[in-house]
Amino acid sequence: MTPTVTQTFAAIGDPIRSTIVDRLASSDATVGELVALFEISFQAVSQHLDVLERAGLLTRRREGRTRRVQLVLEPLEEALTWMESRRDRLEQRYARLDDLLDTLSDSTETPEERP
């Protein structure tokens, strides 16, 4: 697993951070809008944003007196690619296991049981 994928999973593993990512998936938001989602302090939300930013999942920019937050998709896409490759590998293993079980089942049938 690449460091980026590891950081992505670690960052979105927290319920607050995954909620922030879900919210940003629909549109950019101000820090104040994100704070309003939770019953925690501005500082606590800011710390969660720091974790997501270090993982490369978001960017923050100043617009006048507000700070806008934007989701960065590349780390999520890399994590998805990693998961899909693992799923493909598991599906191949299960298919081979199914073939083996069919072969074993066929070899244990008596001549009367065979079609």
Looking at residue 39, its pLDDT comes to 95
Is 90 a member of any domain? Answer: no
Is 9 a member of any domain? Answer: yes
Looking at residue 45, its pLDDT comes to 97
Task: Return the number of other C-beta atoms located less than 10 Å from residue 25's C-beta.
Answer: 10
pTM of the model: 0.77
Whether residue 114 is predicted with pLDDT greater than 90 in this model: the reply is no
Whether residue 32 is predicted with pLDDT greater than 60 in this model: the reply is yes
CATH code, 54: 1.10.10.10
Is 68 a member of any domain? Answer: yes
Task: Return the number of other C-beta atoms located less than 10 Å from residue 56's C-beta.
Answer: 16
Residue 26, domain extent: 3-74
Whether residue 38 is predicted with pLDDT greater than 90 in this model: the reply is yes
Q: Counting beta carbons within 10 angstroms of the beta carbon of residue 103, is it exposed (0 to 12), middle (13 to 18) or buried (19 or more)? A: exposed
pLDDT digits (tens, 9 = 90+) for 51-95: 999 999 999 999 899 999 999 999 999 999 999 999 988 999 998
Is 93 a member of any domain? Answer: no
